[in-house]
Amino acid sequence: MNPGAPGTGPADAAKACVNCGAVAAGAYCPACGQETDVRLPTLRQFMRDATGSLVALDGRLWRTLRALIMQPGFLVREYFRGRRRYYVRPARLFLVTSLILFAVLRFTTEPIRFDETGASAKGNPQAAAPDSSAAMEKSEITLGGGLTIGVDRNFRFSVNGPRNVLTDQLRARLEHFNALPTHDKGRQLSSMLLQWGPYAMFALLPVFAWLQQISYLGRLRAYPGRPKRYVEHLVYATYMHSVMFLAAIVALLIPWAWPRWLILAWVVVYVLRSKHEIYGGSRWGGIVRTLFVVVAYTAFMTVALVLLIFPAILLA
């Protein structure tokens, strides 16, 4: 090879990394890892860089979605076996699908609407009578120390109990919320739920895994391949949530009601099949354990919903 030929000199074989100054002969700097080609990207390259690391547009996303939808329990088994290179990791898949779900919810759902009963109470004493249906349908929450918060179906709050600096502040915030028009109340609550919903789901994910672990305590010797460690239940819970998020996304985007029932039936069958694939045991046992997890998880979700509603009220 002619040393003087173009493209063969030392300056062409290696150049300095513009990020750290180290000599970089290949496509990436061996010191800091930055690419050596720093030309401005095309629009396609720019969008690929923006989303590729998040949703794995190199083919892993589509491979993962196909396996997730068509083969219940397959990705969980692959993860347990250590075959993870060609699939999106469960935590990342959970994050992406949950963010997409709440984005779709923001565009496809309307703000919460309350019953307008009693809205015209001003100037109409009969509408505000204490024996009206709106006043009769009231729930109460006891917080301890004699403090009780009542709420009716129009989300009008009342505070009963001892008076101090904290309870007076609480009364003031609730009275401010009560004075809002009903459509403003609904908009405030809907905005808070959609904003913090993904964080709530992420916080509830370990709870689901814990309930799953509790439901399968005992009889581990009879089923040696059954998940034992908590993190294994967490992996299963992550994939199950991703499936349910995807089903919810499709159901929200479909304008007809009857396909949504088919999607719901598919989710039920999918969960039972994946549970049987991963945990084994009788199908009736899987159904009973699934019911336990669903009921207990619904209770935790209700608590999380209340915890999301109160900040929306207090910050109104």
pLDDT digits (tens, 9 = 90+) for 31-61: 888 888 877 767 666 666 655 555 555 577 8
Residue ranges making up the domain that contains 258 = 89-111+185-314
Residue whose C-alpha is closest to residue 72's, from 276, 249, 293:
276
Please identify every stretch of the chain with a pLDDT value under 70, giving residue numbers as ranges.
1-14, 41, 43-58, 112, 114-140, 142-145, 153-154, 219-222, 312, 314-316
Residue 153 lies in a domain: no
One domain, residues 101 and 14: no
One domain, residues 103 and 16: no
Residue 277 lies in a domain: yes
Residue 197 lies in a domain: yes
One domain, residues 101 and 18: no
Residue 140 lies in a domain: no
Residue whose C-alpha is closest to residue 195's, from 187, 206, 183, 184:
187
pLDDT score for 53? 54
- Identify the three-state secondary structure at position 144: strand
Residue 107 lies in a domain: yes
Phi-psi group of 219: left, alpha or beta (phi > 0 → left; psi -120 to 50 → alpha; rest → beta): left
Q: Work out the burial of residue 275: count CB atoms within 10 Å of its CB; fewer than 13 is exposed, 13-18 middle, 19 or more buried.
A: buried
Residue 213 lies in a domain: yes
One domain, residues 294 and 212: yes
Residue 268 lies in a domain: yes
Full-model pTM: 0.70
One domain, residues 94 and 30: no
pLDDT score for 177? 79
Backbone φ and ψ of 50, nearest 5°: -70, -35
One domain, residues 291 and 209: yes
- Identify the three-state secondary structure at position 159: strand
Query: E strand or H helix at 71, and its extent?
Result: none
pLDDT digits (tens, 9 = 90+) for 293-311: 999 999 999 888 877 777 7
Q: How many domains does the chain have?
A: 2
One domain, residues 32 and 96: no
pLDDT digits (tens, 9 = 90+) for 135-157: 445 666 766 667 777 777 667 77
Residue 26 lies in a domain: yes
Under 8 Å between Cβ of 215 and 230: no
One domain, residues 233 and 302: yes
Give the amino acid at 48.
R
